[in-house]
A and B are shown apart, each in its own frame.
Chain A
């Protein structure tokens, strides 16, 4: 039954690869997304990969829905490239003014603050998708031992770079915004910069590793505003 094709209006085709949050399904979504971008047919406007679906935005003045559906067919067999994963290291200064809720997260889960940091910075998180607000990453793989409910009353202003936990999710605020996540730290990196190409430090399909740093290192990176990336 999967993949399933559905029109999402007159300018987008939704290709649905599954109905659960699953790394294998998401890898497939990204593999097809990358292949389509690489081929970049003239009618293609953009692709938006999500957890389980790939939205293909096309120009209906150049191609009809049924022609798009036909043209997408050959890409569906694209296999995820094994062993080729980009890991983006995100330095995080945990606690203090950077992460005012880390004490609550620790207490709520019966852990020490150091344990929260260790548990949070250990996994390799998968970037399932980006959306909601510019640069907002949906990460998968947080340890349930540090899961914590959102604030009852969201903050009006969360600084850009704040790293937080909401239920079983973790991630960072790429731009300053209101927000209800429990803030546990902050990254000095500019995770979203519209003047750069691509504008976001992570791309869907990447992996993220949080690296604990001290306050001094935070200032150093913040002022130098340098990125840390490697394969």
Chain B
């Protein structure tokens, strides 16, 4: 069991999300940045779907009421009993230890994963907190969370190779698959969208990010469509011409035309752009987006294997970057 001592920002339990209920109006939900969250989970020996803590900008302080193995995912200063420790590394905590997580130096969302995951009663098959429908709740100081059972031996001291520590930029290029309602925009409108820099506004949350920047011109078809499905990553453009990117808790349907949908590989980049950060958009084909996703998943698998000791990473001299993984031979 862990006890939250201070919770300075929105902190929730999240997992990989709900599947199969969008047709009942239930969003997919889940972590905002699946890459950071999955890596944090791998470091403590969990799979992709284990529930963990997600916080925004500033992390919580918590006390361990039993020994546990944890890892912090995010660019933050982290202290265990007052001693600075590293994010992206798993540690053993014993009963009474206090973990303090500071303000994120870059990025918007951070994660704390625990070996065995956080215990919860799943709602519609998932532990994702979805506040608008009271699925779970925003965590407050004084609350206790139970951890799932896990054999802790050998799970501490795992480190992410430096090359794979996520970097959160203040300006990113985001790949977008055009459509499906690009006919609601003029050619000029689409050019504006693809050739401008947009700033993430403070009216941004788990539901979606509102962007400020040059207005996107609608065609004579106008700024409304017959209410249509809204996939995560959809870029909707309402009448004011300012794009909104729908994210984890985005509504499942909506009536604004979609100029494009962010490639899944780039959704974490969007999610980690904090208010004031900037985004530029680049049109890619659905094939290219899928190819990049497949490549990313190969790397994620290799990292998981590396942390588990099933894979070896080779560091080539060129730029000192890990470029190859091989299976560890079993004797």
Q: Are A8 and B234 in contact (CB under 8 A)?
A: yes
**A135 interfacial by beta-carbon distance below 8 Å:** yes
Q: Are A194 and B124 in contact (CB under 8 A)?
A: yes
**A148 interfacial by beta-carbon distance below 8 Å:** no
A200 to B133, alpha carbons, bound, how many Å?
Answer: 13
List B residues at the A interface (Cβ < 8 Å). Answer: 19-26, 123-124, 132-135, 177, 179-180, 226-229, 231-234, 251-254, 258, 261-264, 286-287, 289-290, 293-294, 297
Contacts known (A9-B264, A175-B133, A194-B123); A204 close to B231, Cβ less than 8 A = no
Q: Are B133 and A134 in contact (CB under 8 A)?
A: yes
Contacts known (A21-B226, A65-B287); A8 close to B254, Cβ less than 8 A = no
Q: Are B22 and A46 in contact (CB under 8 A)?
A: yes
**A91 interfacial by beta-carbon distance below 8 Å:** no
> From B134, which residue of chain A is reached at the shortest CB distance?
A175
Q: Within the complex, which residue of A20, A47, A66, A133 is in contact with B23, where a contact is CB–CB below 8 Å?
A: A47
Contacts known (A46-B19, A61-B297, A131-B25); A9 close to B123, Cβ less than 8 A = no
Q: Are A135 and B24 in contact (CB under 8 A)?
A: yes
Contacts known (A138-B227, A194-B123); A9 close to B287, Cβ less than 8 A = no
* Secondary structure class of chain A's binding surface, majority of residues: loop
Q: List the one stretch of A51-59, A114-122, A179-187, A209-217 in contact with chain B.
A: A51-59
Q: Are B25 and A136 in contact (CB under 8 A)?
A: yes
Contacts known (A60-B264, A64-B287, A199-B124); A130 close to B23, Cβ less than 8 A = yes
Give the residues in chain A near B263, CB-CB below 8 Å. 9-10
Give the residues in chain A near B228, CB-CB below 8 Å. 14, 50-53
List A residues at the B interface (Cβ < 8 Å). Answer: 6-12, 14, 16, 19-21, 33, 45-53, 55, 57, 60-61, 64-66, 129-136, 138, 174-175, 177, 192, 194-195, 198-200, 203-204
Q: Are A48 and B290 in contact (CB under 8 A)?
A: no
> From A137, which residue of chain B is reached at the shortest CB distance?
B25
Give the residues in chain A near B252, CB-CB below 8 Å. 48, 131-132
In the complex, besides A48-B253, A66-B287, A199-B21, 17 extra interface pairs with C-beta distance below 8 angstroms are A7-B179, A7-B180, A9-B234, A9-B264, A21-B226, A46-B20, A46-B22, A51-B226, A60-B264, A129-B253, A130-B25, A131-B227, A131-B252, A131-B253, A133-B132, A133-B133, A194-B133
